[in-house]
Amino acid sequence: MIDNDNKIIKVRVPGSVMLTGEHAVLRGHLAVVAAVDRYINLQLLPNDSANIHIEADGIGSWFAPLQDLRVEKPFQFVLTVLKRYQAHFKKGFDIVIQSDFSSQLGLGSSAAVTVATLLAVRRYLQLDADSKAIFIEAREVIREVQGMGSGADVAASVYGGVVAYRADPLEIKQLSSLLPLSLVYSGKKVATPIVVNQVNAWADENAELSEKIFTAIGECSAQASRAIQLKNWQLLGEIFSVQQALMRELHLSNDVLDEIIETANTIPHVFGAKISGSGLGDCVVVVGKVPDGYFPINELQERQGVEMINIGLSEQSKQVVLNETC
């Protein structure tokens, strides 16, 4: 058996972007999600103390004795994982987290850091870390912390590439890693649980209409999956436009998002655009190439915080390296 007590465990996990299926995926419909080449990099460094220390760029630090683990913001996802394995820890360790992207961008940072922490801890404890087991447990952690979560972003971080995903019954199908996408940040993020609760309240009051909308969004995902497999970007763009209209019916757009989408659709070689994520903020995802620096298009957008996010898709799924002595 390999002794991990003096080994640095390094984990690299991609973020993600929702392509289709938002909100409908929480109701059993299909979604399509893509891993992106922005990563959470996490190191677990064993030490000889009885303490755990967490350090994250731009977020802060956290410290406590092993026996006094408690789940606190802003490390609630990391600490929820550690609490699950607390009884197995014999010595302390440091966790150092570096992110290629801000948690405000809506690129699945919570899912990525949860997957990264699980991978590091299970490797440290020499436990099995196969993809499905990591996916299932990471989804459980997200739901425990947030009270909800489809797991689509978890699937992208675990498996990489573009994934067709259904929560129940569980379906994870890798589609491709070749897809021309651009991303524009709208300047703000509204927390996913807040938006989901808002949509749920509206759906309760408009049961028949909302069910038709969620079913149509799920069909967008099924058609998007086929378009991606065929590499038919014109068709995929048209599907994006259809789902964007449906998200407007759910009151998930706003003037800033609408302007970004309308402008993007006028750019040559752009096939379609829509909100990515829960809505009322986050990013606009575009099928096609938006020229670098195209957004913001005016001073108002600049003040609102609109900006291009240079991303590509990530073929890489989760990675674990164990090769350095502390």
Q: Are residues 162 and 185 in the same domain?
A: no
More confident residue, 321 or 242: 242
Query: Are 264 and 184 a contacting pair, CB within 8 Å?
Result: yes
Does residue 314 form part of some domain? no
Tell whether the model's pLDDT for residue 53 goes beyond 90: yes
Q: Are residues 13 and 96 in the same domain?
A: yes
Query: Are 25 and 168 a contacting pair, CB within 8 Å?
Result: no
Q: What is the pLDDT of residue 129?
A: 86
As a whole number of angstroms, the distance between CA 161 and CA 51 comes to 37
Query: Tens of pLDDT along 4-49?
Result: 667 899 999 999 999 999 999 999 999 999 999 999 999 999 999 9
> pTM for the complete prediction?
0.92
The mean pLDDT value of the chain amounts to 93
As a whole number of angstroms, the distance between CA 305 and CA 290 comes to 18
- List the domain range (segments joined by +) for residue 130: 8-176
Does residue 1 form part of some domain? no
Beta bridge partners of 173: 164
Q: What is the pLDDT of residue 314?
A: 78
Q: Are residues 52 and 160 in the same domain?
A: yes
Q: Are residues 100 and 248 in the same domain?
A: no
Query: Tens of pLDDT along 132-173?
Result: 999 999 999 999 999 999 999 999 999 999 999 999 999 999
Q: Are residues 123 and 90 in the same domain?
A: yes
The count of structural domains within the chain is 2
Domain boundary among 176, 208, 237: 176
Nearest CA to 110 out of 56, 64, 63, 173 is that of 56
Domain at 46, CATH number: 3.30.230.10
Q: Are residues 170 and 47 in the same domain?
A: yes
Q: Are residues 166 and 248 in the same domain?
A: no
Q: What is the pLDDT of residue 112?
A: 96
Does residue 148 form part of some domain? yes
Query: Tens of pLDDT along 302-311?
Result: 999 999 999 8
Q: Are residues 41 and 83 in the same domain?
A: yes
**pLDDT band for position 1 (cuts 50, 70, 90):** very low
Domain boundary among 130, 155, 176: 176
As a whole number of angstroms, the distance between CA 147 and CA 183 comes to 28
As a whole number of angstroms, the distance between CA 81 and CA 74 comes to 14
* 274, amino acid identity: K
Q: Are residues 292 and 207 in the same domain?
A: yes
Q: Are residues 224 and 121 in the same domain?
A: no
